[in-house]
Structure 1
Amino acid sequence: MNYGICTLALVPLRLEQAHRSEMVSQVLFGELFEILDKQPDWTSIRLLETDYLGWIQNGQFVQLDEEEMQRYLDGKFHMVGRQGGLLINDTKQLALCHGTKLYLTDENVWHIAGDKLSYQGDINPYIRNQFKTEIAQLALAYKDTPYLWGGRSQWGIDCSGFSQLIYSCFDLSLPRDAYQQAEMGQTVDFISEIKVGDLAFFDNAEGRITHVGIMLDRDTIIHASAKVRIDRMDSEGIFNQELNRYSHRLRIIKRYV
Protein backbone atom coordinates (compact mmCIF):
# COMPACT_ATOMS: atom_id res chain seq x y z
CA MET A 1 0.00 0.00 0.00
CA ASN A 2 0.98 3.61 -0.56
CA TYR A 3 0.34 6.20 2.13
CA GLY A 4 0.35 9.96 2.40
CA ILE A 5 0.49 12.63 5.11
CA CYS A 6 -1.00 16.11 4.88
CA THR A 7 1.70 18.79 5.07
CA LEU A 8 -0.47 21.93 5.13
CA ALA A 9 -2.51 23.27 8.05
CA LEU A 10 -5.95 22.46 6.66
CA VAL A 11 -6.94 21.40 3.15
CA PRO A 12 -10.22 20.49 1.44
CA LEU A 13 -11.26 16.90 0.90
CA ARG A 14 -13.47 16.92 -2.19
CA LEU A 15 -16.15 14.58 -3.47
CA GLU A 16 -14.62 14.59 -6.94
CA GLN A 17 -11.30 15.64 -8.45
CA ALA A 18 -12.14 19.29 -9.10
CA HIS A 19 -11.97 22.56 -7.14
CA ARG A 20 -15.65 23.18 -7.89
CA SER A 21 -16.62 19.82 -6.38
CA GLU A 22 -18.31 19.64 -2.98
CA MET A 23 -15.98 19.81 0.04
CA VAL A 24 -17.06 16.74 2.01
CA SER A 25 -14.52 17.27 4.79
CA GLN A 26 -11.08 18.66 5.52
CA VAL A 27 -7.69 17.07 6.13
CA LEU A 28 -5.63 18.48 8.98
CA PHE A 29 -1.87 18.71 9.07
CA GLY A 30 -0.29 15.38 9.94
CA GLU A 31 -3.31 13.25 9.10
CA LEU A 32 -2.41 9.96 7.46
CA PHE A 33 -4.23 8.29 4.62
CA GLU A 34 -4.07 5.46 2.15
CA ILE A 35 -3.57 6.48 -1.46
CA LEU A 36 -6.20 4.78 -3.62
CA ASP A 37 -5.77 6.42 -7.03
CA LYS A 38 -3.24 9.05 -8.08
CA GLN A 39 -4.11 11.25 -11.05
CA PRO A 40 -2.08 14.13 -12.58
CA ASP A 41 -3.66 16.82 -10.36
CA TRP A 42 -5.65 14.96 -7.69
CA THR A 43 -5.35 11.87 -5.51
CA SER A 44 -8.14 9.69 -4.16
CA ILE A 45 -7.54 8.87 -0.48
CA ARG A 46 -8.96 7.00 2.50
CA LEU A 47 -8.24 8.62 5.87
CA LEU A 48 -6.79 5.98 8.17
CA GLU A 49 -8.46 7.13 11.39
CA THR A 50 -12.03 7.39 10.10
CA ASP A 51 -12.04 5.50 6.75
CA TYR A 52 -13.41 8.68 5.13
CA LEU A 53 -12.98 8.92 1.36
CA GLY A 54 -12.35 11.85 -0.95
CA TRP A 55 -9.98 13.62 -3.29
CA ILE A 56 -7.04 15.79 -2.21
CA GLN A 57 -5.07 18.05 -4.52
CA ASN A 58 -1.54 16.94 -5.35
CA GLY A 59 1.07 19.17 -3.72
CA GLN A 60 -0.81 19.25 -0.40
CA PHE A 61 0.75 16.06 0.95
CA VAL A 62 3.84 13.89 0.74
CA GLN A 63 3.84 10.19 -0.04
CA LEU A 64 5.18 7.71 2.53
CA ASP A 65 6.00 4.06 2.50
CA GLU A 66 4.87 1.84 5.36
CA GLU A 67 8.24 1.99 7.11
CA GLU A 68 8.32 5.81 7.06
CA MET A 69 4.77 5.97 8.37
CA GLN A 70 5.48 3.59 11.24
CA ARG A 71 8.61 5.51 12.21
CA TYR A 72 6.50 8.67 12.40
CA LEU A 73 3.83 6.98 14.54
CA ASP A 74 6.52 5.78 16.94
CA GLY A 75 7.03 9.40 18.00
CA LYS A 76 5.53 11.11 21.04
CA PHE A 77 1.85 11.92 20.52
CA HIS A 78 0.55 15.47 21.05
CA MET A 79 -2.64 17.28 20.13
CA VAL A 80 -2.58 21.02 19.46
CA GLY A 81 -4.49 22.86 22.17
CA ARG A 82 -7.25 25.46 21.92
CA GLN A 83 -4.81 28.38 21.46
CA GLY A 84 -3.16 26.75 18.44
CA GLY A 85 0.50 26.30 17.69
CA LEU A 86 3.31 26.75 15.20
CA LEU A 87 5.75 24.47 13.42
CA ILE A 88 8.93 26.41 12.71
CA ASN A 89 12.33 26.07 11.09
CA ASP A 90 14.70 28.57 9.45
CA THR A 91 12.63 28.84 6.28
CA LYS A 92 9.08 27.91 7.27
CA GLN A 93 6.40 28.84 9.78
CA LEU A 94 3.15 26.88 9.75
CA ALA A 95 0.15 27.76 11.94
CA LEU A 96 -1.80 24.74 13.20
CA CYS A 97 -5.41 24.66 14.38
CA HIS A 98 -6.81 23.17 17.55
CA GLY A 99 -7.20 19.40 17.33
CA THR A 100 -4.25 18.80 15.01
CA LYS A 101 -2.52 15.56 15.97
CA LEU A 102 1.27 15.39 15.92
CA TYR A 103 3.91 12.76 16.59
CA LEU A 104 7.09 14.49 17.72
CA THR A 105 10.59 13.54 18.77
CA ASP A 106 11.66 13.94 22.39
CA GLU A 107 12.92 17.40 21.39
CA ASN A 108 9.40 18.37 20.15
CA VAL A 109 10.47 18.18 16.50
CA TRP A 110 8.21 17.06 13.67
CA HIS A 111 10.43 15.03 11.37
CA ILE A 112 9.21 13.31 8.25
CA ALA A 113 10.25 13.00 4.59
CA GLY A 114 13.43 14.98 5.28
CA ASP A 115 11.54 17.92 6.78
CA LYS A 116 12.24 19.03 10.38
CA LEU A 117 10.14 21.61 12.21
CA SER A 118 10.03 22.51 15.90
CA TYR A 119 6.66 22.75 17.60
CA GLN A 120 5.83 25.81 19.68
CA GLY A 121 2.40 26.34 21.15
CA ASP A 122 -0.49 25.04 23.18
CA ILE A 123 -0.95 21.35 23.97
CA ASN A 124 -4.38 19.84 24.56
CA PRO A 125 -4.53 19.21 28.33
CA TYR A 126 -7.56 16.92 28.56
CA ILE A 127 -7.81 13.21 29.24
CA ARG A 128 -10.82 10.92 28.97
CA ASN A 129 -11.52 11.00 32.72
CA GLN A 130 -12.14 14.77 32.46
CA PHE A 131 -14.88 14.41 29.84
CA LYS A 132 -17.87 15.02 32.14
CA THR A 133 -16.30 17.96 33.96
CA GLU A 134 -14.60 19.76 31.07
CA ILE A 135 -16.52 19.09 27.83
CA ALA A 136 -19.01 21.92 28.32
CA GLN A 137 -16.28 24.51 28.84
CA LEU A 138 -14.38 23.36 25.76
CA ALA A 139 -17.49 23.26 23.57
CA LEU A 140 -18.50 26.76 24.71
CA ALA A 141 -15.11 28.07 23.55
CA TYR A 142 -16.37 27.45 20.00
CA LYS A 143 -19.47 29.64 20.38
CA ASP A 144 -20.00 31.85 17.29
CA THR A 145 -17.55 29.88 15.14
CA PRO A 146 -18.97 30.18 11.59
CA TYR A 147 -20.68 27.18 10.03
CA LEU A 148 -18.82 25.64 7.10
CA TRP A 149 -20.03 22.55 5.27
CA GLY A 150 -17.25 19.98 5.65
CA GLY A 151 -15.38 22.19 8.13
CA ARG A 152 -13.36 20.78 11.02
CA SER A 153 -11.73 23.76 12.74
CA GLN A 154 -12.27 27.01 14.64
CA TRP A 155 -12.02 28.76 11.26
CA GLY A 156 -15.25 27.08 10.12
CA ILE A 157 -17.00 23.91 11.23
CA ASP A 158 -20.07 21.80 10.54
CA CYS A 159 -22.26 20.03 13.09
CA SER A 160 -20.61 16.60 12.99
CA GLY A 161 -17.14 18.11 12.63
CA PHE A 162 -17.87 19.99 15.87
CA SER A 163 -18.86 16.89 17.86
CA GLN A 164 -16.00 14.89 16.36
CA LEU A 165 -13.41 17.54 17.24
CA ILE A 166 -14.61 18.14 20.80
CA TYR A 167 -14.77 14.42 21.54
CA SER A 168 -11.30 13.85 20.08
CA CYS A 169 -9.83 16.21 22.69
CA PHE A 170 -10.85 13.64 25.31
CA ASP A 171 -9.37 10.71 23.39
CA LEU A 172 -12.79 9.66 22.09
CA SER A 173 -12.97 8.82 18.39
CA LEU A 174 -16.16 9.47 16.43
CA PRO A 175 -16.85 8.91 12.73
CA ARG A 176 -17.07 11.95 10.46
CA ASP A 177 -20.79 12.22 9.64
CA ALA A 178 -23.77 12.63 11.95
CA TYR A 179 -25.57 9.51 10.75
CA GLN A 180 -22.40 7.47 11.38
CA GLN A 181 -22.01 8.91 14.88
CA ALA A 182 -25.64 8.01 15.62
CA GLU A 183 -24.89 4.35 14.92
CA MET A 184 -22.54 4.26 17.93
CA GLY A 185 -23.05 4.77 21.65
CA GLN A 186 -25.84 3.89 24.04
CA THR A 187 -29.35 5.24 23.56
CA VAL A 188 -30.65 7.64 26.21
CA ASP A 189 -34.34 6.80 26.48
CA PHE A 190 -35.68 9.87 28.26
CA ILE A 191 -34.98 13.60 28.13
CA SER A 192 -34.79 13.63 31.93
CA GLU A 193 -31.82 11.25 31.77
CA ILE A 194 -29.64 13.48 29.55
CA LYS A 195 -26.16 14.20 30.88
CA VAL A 196 -23.59 16.76 29.81
CA GLY A 197 -21.73 15.57 26.70
CA ASP A 198 -24.50 13.38 25.32
CA LEU A 199 -25.08 13.82 21.59
CA ALA A 200 -28.55 14.62 20.25
CA PHE A 201 -29.34 13.69 16.64
CA PHE A 202 -31.98 15.18 14.37
CA ASP A 203 -33.58 13.97 11.16
CA ASN A 204 -35.22 15.46 8.08
CA ALA A 205 -38.63 14.83 6.55
CA GLU A 206 -37.37 11.61 4.98
CA GLY A 207 -36.16 10.30 8.34
CA ARG A 208 -32.46 10.68 7.51
CA ILE A 209 -30.20 11.93 10.31
CA THR A 210 -28.75 15.23 9.16
CA HIS A 211 -27.75 17.12 12.31
CA VAL A 212 -26.04 16.59 15.67
CA GLY A 213 -25.32 18.71 18.73
CA ILE A 214 -23.69 18.40 22.16
CA MET A 215 -25.91 18.59 25.23
CA LEU A 216 -24.78 21.06 27.90
CA ASP A 217 -27.51 19.94 30.29
CA ARG A 218 -30.96 18.34 30.06
CA ASP A 219 -32.49 21.11 27.97
CA THR A 220 -29.60 23.11 26.50
CA ILE A 221 -27.69 22.18 23.36
CA ILE A 222 -24.66 23.64 21.58
CA HIS A 223 -24.52 22.93 17.87
CA ALA A 224 -23.32 24.32 14.53
CA SER A 225 -26.18 25.88 12.56
CA ALA A 226 -25.15 29.06 10.69
CA LYS A 227 -22.70 29.37 13.57
CA VAL A 228 -21.93 27.45 16.73
CA ARG A 229 -24.87 28.49 18.91
CA ILE A 230 -26.69 27.59 22.10
CA ASP A 231 -30.38 26.74 22.00
CA ARG A 232 -33.09 25.13 24.10
CA MET A 233 -34.10 21.56 23.33
CA ASP A 234 -37.06 19.42 24.35
CA SER A 235 -38.65 16.16 23.22
CA GLU A 236 -39.73 17.78 19.96
CA GLY A 237 -36.37 19.21 19.01
CA ILE A 238 -34.32 22.41 18.98
CA PHE A 239 -36.24 25.63 19.49
CA ASN A 240 -34.58 28.63 17.86
CA GLN A 241 -35.67 31.74 19.78
CA GLU A 242 -34.48 34.09 17.03
CA LEU A 243 -36.72 32.34 14.50
CA ASN A 244 -39.43 31.64 17.11
CA ARG A 245 -39.84 28.09 15.85
CA TYR A 246 -38.36 24.62 16.02
CA SER A 247 -35.38 24.37 13.66
CA HIS A 248 -34.50 20.68 14.06
CA ARG A 249 -36.61 17.61 14.88
CA LEU A 250 -35.19 15.30 17.55
CA ARG A 251 -34.58 11.70 16.51
CA ILE A 252 -32.35 10.10 19.17
CA ILE A 253 -29.91 10.84 21.98
CA LYS A 254 -26.71 8.85 22.41
CA ARG A 255 -24.11 8.53 25.18
CA TYR A 256 -20.50 7.48 24.60
CA VAL A 257 -18.88 7.79 28.02
Structure 2
Amino acid sequence: MNIGICNLSVIPLRVANTHRSEMVSQVLFAEQFEILQEEKEWVYIRMFDIDYKGWLQKGQFVSLPENHFINISEGNYLVVDIAGATAFLDDKKVDLLPGTKIPKLLLQQYPGFPYGIEGSLRRPNVIDFETEFPKLIDYYLNSPYLWGGRTHVGIDCSGLSQIIYTHFGIQLPRDAYQQAEKGEVVDFLSEIKPGDLAFFDNEEGRIIHVGVMVDDETIFHASANVRIDKMDSEGIFNKEQNRYTHKLRIVKRFW
Protein backbone atom coordinates (compact mmCIF):
# COMPACT_ATOMS: atom_id res chain seq x y z
CA MET A 1 0.00 0.00 0.00
CA ASN A 2 1.31 3.46 -0.95
CA ILE A 3 0.58 5.98 1.80
CA GLY A 4 0.83 9.76 1.69
CA ILE A 5 0.56 12.39 4.41
CA CYS A 6 -0.13 16.11 4.00
CA ASN A 7 2.82 18.29 5.05
CA LEU A 8 1.21 21.68 4.30
CA SER A 9 -1.47 23.64 6.15
CA VAL A 10 -4.28 22.76 3.72
CA ILE A 11 -4.38 21.50 0.13
CA PRO A 12 -7.24 21.09 -2.38
CA LEU A 13 -8.75 17.71 -3.22
CA ARG A 14 -10.13 17.81 -6.76
CA VAL A 15 -12.52 15.83 -8.95
CA ALA A 16 -10.01 15.55 -11.80
CA ASN A 17 -6.26 15.86 -12.29
CA THR A 18 -6.17 19.51 -13.29
CA HIS A 19 -6.07 22.82 -11.42
CA ARG A 20 -9.22 23.86 -13.27
CA SER A 21 -11.15 20.96 -11.78
CA GLU A 22 -13.77 21.35 -9.06
CA MET A 23 -12.45 21.24 -5.49
CA VAL A 24 -14.59 18.76 -3.56
CA SER A 25 -12.75 18.94 -0.24
CA GLN A 26 -9.46 19.86 1.39
CA VAL A 27 -6.75 17.84 3.12
CA LEU A 28 -5.28 19.26 6.32
CA PHE A 29 -1.81 18.83 7.79
CA ALA A 30 -1.03 15.27 8.97
CA GLU A 31 -4.09 13.73 7.30
CA GLN A 32 -3.13 10.43 5.68
CA PHE A 33 -4.39 8.77 2.54
CA GLU A 34 -3.87 5.78 0.30
CA ILE A 35 -2.47 6.53 -3.16
CA LEU A 36 -4.66 4.57 -5.58
CA GLN A 37 -3.30 5.88 -8.88
CA GLU A 38 -0.22 7.88 -9.81
CA GLU A 39 0.37 10.12 -12.82
CA LYS A 40 3.16 12.52 -13.76
CA GLU A 41 1.95 15.47 -11.67
CA TRP A 42 -1.08 14.10 -9.83
CA VAL A 43 -2.19 11.23 -7.61
CA TYR A 44 -5.67 9.81 -7.04
CA ILE A 45 -6.15 9.16 -3.34
CA ARG A 46 -8.53 7.81 -0.71
CA MET A 47 -8.54 9.54 2.66
CA PHE A 48 -8.36 7.03 5.47
CA ASP A 49 -10.48 8.80 8.08
CA ILE A 50 -13.54 9.53 5.92
CA ASP A 51 -13.07 7.19 2.93
CA TYR A 52 -13.22 10.14 0.52
CA LYS A 53 -11.53 10.15 -2.89
CA GLY A 54 -10.05 12.74 -5.21
CA TRP A 55 -6.94 14.07 -6.93
CA LEU A 56 -3.97 15.78 -5.25
CA GLN A 57 -1.08 17.55 -6.89
CA LYS A 58 2.35 16.05 -6.30
CA GLY A 59 4.57 18.23 -4.14
CA GLN A 60 1.78 18.94 -1.66
CA PHE A 61 2.42 15.85 0.44
CA VAL A 62 5.15 13.37 1.32
CA SER A 63 5.23 9.59 1.24
CA LEU A 64 4.92 7.69 4.49
CA PRO A 65 6.41 4.20 4.88
CA GLU A 66 3.65 1.68 5.46
CA ASN A 67 5.23 0.63 8.75
CA HIS A 68 4.97 4.27 9.91
CA PHE A 69 1.22 4.57 9.25
CA ILE A 70 -0.29 6.57 12.12
CA ASN A 71 -3.50 5.06 13.43
CA ILE A 72 -5.88 7.84 14.44
CA SER A 73 -8.67 6.64 16.67
CA GLU A 74 -10.46 7.88 19.76
CA GLY A 75 -8.07 9.02 22.44
CA ASN A 76 -4.79 9.07 20.48
CA TYR A 77 -4.95 12.51 18.89
CA LEU A 78 -5.40 16.16 19.82
CA VAL A 79 -7.06 18.93 17.81
CA VAL A 80 -5.64 22.34 16.96
CA ASP A 81 -7.78 24.87 18.82
CA ILE A 82 -8.92 28.26 17.52
CA ALA A 83 -5.70 29.96 18.68
CA GLY A 84 -3.83 27.84 16.11
CA ALA A 85 -0.52 26.02 16.22
CA THR A 86 2.70 25.57 14.25
CA ALA A 87 4.63 22.56 12.96
CA PHE A 88 8.43 22.76 12.62
CA LEU A 89 10.89 20.63 10.67
CA ASP A 90 14.44 21.97 10.34
CA ASP A 91 13.96 25.44 8.77
CA LYS A 92 10.42 24.70 7.57
CA LYS A 93 7.44 26.16 9.43
CA VAL A 94 3.80 25.22 8.75
CA ASP A 95 0.85 27.10 10.24
CA LEU A 96 -1.75 24.64 11.53
CA LEU A 97 -5.41 25.54 11.22
CA PRO A 98 -8.12 24.92 13.83
CA GLY A 99 -9.69 21.50 13.49
CA THR A 100 -6.44 19.87 12.35
CA LYS A 101 -5.95 16.50 14.02
CA ILE A 102 -2.53 15.99 15.58
CA PRO A 103 -1.71 12.36 16.43
CA LYS A 104 -0.05 12.16 19.83
CA LEU A 105 2.84 10.32 18.18
CA LEU A 106 3.78 13.55 16.39
CA LEU A 107 4.30 15.29 19.72
CA GLN A 108 7.34 13.04 20.12
CA GLN A 109 8.77 13.89 16.66
CA TYR A 110 7.68 10.60 15.12
CA PRO A 111 10.46 9.15 12.89
CA GLY A 112 8.22 8.75 9.86
CA PHE A 113 7.03 12.38 10.02
CA PRO A 114 9.39 14.17 12.44
CA TYR A 115 7.69 17.53 12.88
CA GLY A 116 7.73 19.39 16.17
CA ILE A 117 4.37 20.86 17.19
CA GLU A 118 3.84 24.04 19.21
CA GLY A 119 0.65 25.91 19.95
CA SER A 120 -2.88 25.51 21.20
CA LEU A 121 -4.07 21.89 21.22
CA ARG A 122 -7.20 20.52 22.87
CA ARG A 123 -8.33 17.10 23.92
CA PRO A 124 -11.40 16.41 21.75
CA ASN A 125 -14.48 15.52 23.80
CA VAL A 126 -18.03 16.78 24.33
CA ILE A 127 -17.68 17.42 28.06
CA ASP A 128 -16.94 21.10 27.51
CA PHE A 129 -19.32 21.60 24.58
CA GLU A 130 -21.34 24.31 26.32
CA THR A 131 -18.29 26.51 26.84
CA GLU A 132 -16.38 25.70 23.62
CA PHE A 133 -19.20 25.76 21.04
CA PRO A 134 -19.85 29.52 21.45
CA LYS A 135 -16.12 30.15 20.87
CA LEU A 136 -16.25 28.18 17.63
CA ILE A 137 -19.31 30.14 16.52
CA ASP A 138 -17.43 33.40 17.08
CA TYR A 139 -14.39 32.06 15.23
CA TYR A 140 -16.17 30.82 12.09
CA LEU A 141 -18.95 33.44 11.95
CA ASN A 142 -18.87 35.46 8.69
CA SER A 143 -16.30 33.16 7.07
CA PRO A 144 -16.91 33.10 3.30
CA TYR A 145 -18.64 30.15 1.70
CA LEU A 146 -16.29 28.02 -0.38
CA TRP A 147 -17.39 24.78 -2.05
CA GLY A 148 -15.17 22.02 -0.65
CA GLY A 149 -13.65 24.29 2.00
CA ARG A 150 -12.82 23.21 5.55
CA THR A 151 -11.22 26.33 7.09
CA HIS A 152 -12.25 29.78 8.33
CA VAL A 153 -10.91 31.42 5.16
CA GLY A 154 -13.45 29.44 3.11
CA ILE A 155 -15.82 26.67 4.12
CA ASP A 156 -18.98 24.91 2.92
CA CYS A 157 -21.96 23.72 4.94
CA SER A 158 -20.86 20.13 5.54
CA GLY A 159 -17.27 21.23 6.01
CA LEU A 160 -18.48 23.48 8.83
CA SER A 161 -20.46 20.77 10.61
CA GLN A 162 -17.59 18.32 10.13
CA ILE A 163 -14.91 20.64 11.53
CA ILE A 164 -17.11 21.71 14.46
CA TYR A 165 -17.64 18.07 15.40
CA THR A 166 -13.92 17.34 15.06
CA HIS A 167 -13.29 19.68 17.99
CA PHE A 168 -15.45 17.37 20.11
CA GLY A 169 -13.98 14.06 18.99
CA ILE A 170 -16.71 13.03 16.55
CA GLN A 171 -15.75 12.15 12.97
CA LEU A 172 -18.48 12.95 10.46
CA PRO A 173 -18.49 11.97 6.78
CA ARG A 174 -17.62 14.74 4.32
CA ASP A 175 -20.89 15.49 2.51
CA ALA A 176 -24.25 16.57 3.95
CA TYR A 177 -26.17 13.58 2.55
CA GLN A 178 -23.59 11.23 4.08
CA GLN A 179 -23.84 12.95 7.45
CA ALA A 180 -27.64 12.64 7.31
CA GLU A 181 -27.26 8.86 7.22
CA LYS A 182 -25.70 8.91 10.71
CA GLY A 183 -27.04 9.88 14.11
CA GLU A 184 -30.41 9.49 15.80
CA VAL A 185 -33.56 11.29 14.66
CA VAL A 186 -34.88 14.13 16.82
CA ASP A 187 -38.64 13.74 16.48
CA PHE A 188 -39.82 17.19 17.56
CA LEU A 189 -38.28 20.64 17.11
CA SER A 190 -38.95 21.41 20.76
CA GLU A 191 -36.57 18.56 21.65
CA ILE A 192 -33.63 20.04 19.71
CA LYS A 193 -30.46 20.53 21.73
CA PRO A 194 -27.40 22.67 20.91
CA GLY A 195 -25.12 20.72 18.58
CA ASP A 196 -27.85 18.75 16.80
CA LEU A 197 -27.57 18.80 13.03
CA ALA A 198 -30.45 19.92 10.82
CA PHE A 199 -30.57 18.71 7.22
CA PHE A 200 -32.37 20.28 4.28
CA ASP A 201 -33.43 18.91 0.90
CA ASN A 202 -34.32 20.15 -2.56
CA GLU A 203 -37.44 19.56 -4.62
CA GLU A 204 -36.20 16.10 -5.61
CA GLY A 205 -35.81 15.14 -1.93
CA ARG A 206 -32.01 15.12 -2.04
CA ILE A 207 -30.13 16.38 1.03
CA ILE A 208 -28.24 19.49 -0.07
CA HIS A 209 -27.56 21.46 3.13
CA VAL A 210 -26.70 21.01 6.80
CA GLY A 211 -26.32 23.30 9.79
CA VAL A 212 -25.54 23.08 13.50
CA MET A 213 -28.33 24.01 15.90
CA VAL A 214 -27.53 26.71 18.46
CA ASP A 215 -30.87 26.15 20.23
CA ASP A 216 -34.28 24.82 19.21
CA GLU A 217 -34.97 27.74 16.85
CA THR A 218 -31.56 29.07 15.79
CA ILE A 219 -29.09 27.51 13.34
CA PHE A 220 -25.39 28.10 12.58
CA HIS A 221 -24.62 27.29 8.95
CA ALA A 222 -22.69 28.26 5.81
CA SER A 223 -24.75 29.87 3.05
CA ALA A 224 -22.88 32.62 1.11
CA ASN A 225 -21.10 33.10 4.42
CA VAL A 226 -21.15 31.44 7.82
CA ARG A 227 -24.18 32.91 9.57
CA ILE A 228 -26.82 32.50 12.24
CA ASP A 229 -30.46 32.30 11.18
CA LYS A 230 -33.83 31.37 12.59
CA MET A 231 -35.27 27.93 11.79
CA ASP A 232 -38.73 26.43 12.20
CA SER A 233 -40.62 23.42 10.87
CA GLU A 234 -40.60 24.90 7.38
CA GLY A 235 -36.88 25.57 7.24
CA ILE A 236 -34.31 28.36 7.49
CA PHE A 237 -35.61 31.92 7.34
CA ASN A 238 -33.15 34.50 6.02
CA LYS A 239 -34.04 37.86 7.54
CA GLU A 240 -32.09 39.91 4.98
CA GLN A 241 -33.84 38.20 2.07
CA ASN A 242 -37.16 38.01 3.95
CA ARG A 243 -37.76 34.45 2.79
CA TYR A 244 -37.13 30.79 3.54
CA THR A 245 -33.94 29.69 1.83
CA HIS A 246 -33.75 26.00 2.84
CA LYS A 247 -36.50 23.42 3.38
CA LEU A 248 -36.15 21.32 6.53
CA ARG A 249 -35.94 17.56 6.06
CA ILE A 250 -34.71 16.07 9.34
CA VAL A 251 -32.81 16.81 12.56
CA LYS A 252 -30.32 14.34 14.01
CA ARG A 253 -28.32 13.95 17.21
CA PHE A 254 -24.83 12.47 17.39
CA TRP A 255 -24.15 12.16 21.13
| Class of the TM-score when normalised by the shorter of the 2 chains | over 0.9
The residue aligned with 1:162 is 160
| Equivalent pair of 2:44/2:56 in contact (CA under 8 Å) | yes
SS in 2 for 1:192: helix
Matched, 1:44 2:44: yes
SS in 1 for 2:115: strand
| Equivalent pair of 1:36/1:44 in contact (CA under 8 Å) | yes
Give the Cα separation in 2 of the matches to 1:130 and 1:31. 25
The residue aligned with 1:96 is 96
| Equivalent pair of 1:236/1:249 in contact (CA under 8 Å) | yes
TM-score, normalised relative to structure 1: 0.92
Q: What do residues 175-213 of structure 1 show as CA deviations (whole Å, max 9, x unaligned)?
A: 000000000111111111111111000011211100000
Q: How much has 1:146 moved relative to structure 2?
A: 1.0
Aligned length: 254
1:39 is matched by which residue type in structure 2? E
Give the Cα separation in 2 of the matches to 1:42 and 1:187. 41
Distance 1:3 1:224, change over 3 A: same
> Equivalent residues in 2 for 1:72-83 (5 A)?
77-83=77-83
Matched, 1:179 2:177: yes
| Equivalent pair of 1:77/1:103 in contact (CA under 8 Å) | yes
Distance 1:227 1:110, change over 3 A: farther
SS in 2 for 1:175: coil
- Aligned equivalent of 2:233, options 232, 235, 239: 235
- Aligned equivalent of 2:220, options 219, 222, 243: 222
- Percent of aligned pairs with the same amino acid: 53
Distance 1:90 1:67, change over 3 A: closer
**Runs (5+) with no aligned partner, structure 1:** none
Quote the RMSD (CA, aligned, Å). Answer: 2.0
Distance 1:177 1:117, change over 3 A: same
Give the Cα separation in 2 of the matches to 1:46 and 1:250. 32
TM-score, normalised relative to structure 2: 0.93
| Equivalent pair of 2:15/2:21 in contact (CA under 8 Å) | yes
Distance 1:175 1:247, change over 3 A: same
